[in-house]
């Protein structure tokens, strides 16, 4: 049973490729080009004349895929035995609830929590009513609220990796990749006020350290 769960847990599929010729594909290309310049503050800014919801949607897909990949590198170290609870250091513990199948928050291991979380995000991304892929289909009125919940939850995976698995990240020589990805994420959520400051508390010291260099 545990083996099956671990196998399932390793195989999150990257989100659908954004089709060429669509607005979202152009935005994704713009994001990649500005990221290439190395200026992360500039890279997160809304391109002139573009729709904020489209921009948030494209970036959420990107962060989901990045976090998926980063977590994938440390799954052998993040197990039911090593990470009995989903924590971010000694002060922060996360319990899972999605408001639908699991309404009351439950304690669970970090790999199980991450599996619930990533599967839940994948479901949101695959829902055409929330993340429309066709041109001209409007985003729902509560899109910003859903986006904030997704980003708040994705942050928890970064927090767990930094607090519980940074040693393994360094061993795998992935720390530069992790730091760049997280810094990009932080600038993005700061630019559009998408995650409350109190939610960022487990990594506030790191956030200050990573971002002060660029002031």
Distance CA 152, CA 92 (A): 14
Handedness of CA 12, 103, 161, 66 (dihedral sign): positive
Kindly state the helix (H) or strand (E) to which residue 158 belongs, with its residue range.
Answer: helix 143-171
Name residue, tokens 């195989």: 11
Helix (H, G, I), strand (E, B) or coil at 151: helix
Tokens of 137: 């289909």
Helix (H, G, I), strand (E, B) or coil at 213: coil
Name residue, tokens 């994938």: 72
- Is 177 marked as binding a ligand? no
Other CB atoms within 10 A of residue 158 CB: 24
Tokens of 198: 């109190």
- Is 78 marked as binding a ligand? yes
Residues facing 93 on adjacent strands:
87
Helix (H, G, I), strand (E, B) or coil at 138: coil
- Is 108 marked as binding a ligand? no
What residue numbers does the annotated binding site for Zn(2+) cover?
A: 78, 83, 160, 165
**Residue numbering of the annotated binding site:** 78, 83, 160, 165
């Amino acid at each position: 049973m545990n083996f099956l769960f671990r196998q399932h847990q390793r195989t999150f599929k990257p989100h659908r490729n954004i089709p060429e010729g669509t607005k979202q594909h152009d935005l994704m290309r713009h994001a990649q080009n500005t990221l290439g310049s190395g200026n992360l503050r500039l890279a997160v800014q809304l391109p002139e004349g573009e729709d904020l919801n489209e921009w948030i949607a494209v970036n959420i897909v990107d962060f989901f895929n990045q976090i998926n990949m980063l977590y994938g590198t440390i799954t052998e170290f993040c197990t039911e035995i090593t990470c009995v609870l989903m924590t971010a250091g000694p002060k922060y513990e996360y319990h899972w609830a999605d408001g639908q199948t699991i309404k009351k928050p439950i304690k669970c291991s970090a790999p199980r929590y991450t599996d619930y979380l990533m599967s839940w995000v994948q479901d949101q991304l695959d829902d055409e009513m929330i993340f429309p892929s066709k041109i001209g289909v409007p985003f729902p009125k509560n899109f910003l609220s859903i986006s904030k919940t997704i980003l708040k939850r994705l942050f928890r995976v970064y927090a767990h990796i930094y607090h519980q698995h940074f040693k393994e990240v360094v061993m795998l020589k992935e720390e530069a990749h992790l730091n760049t990805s997280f810094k990009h994420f932080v600038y993005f959520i700061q630019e559009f006020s998408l995650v409350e400051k109190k939610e960022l508390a487990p990594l506030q010291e790191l956030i200050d350290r990573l971002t002060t260099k660029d002031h």
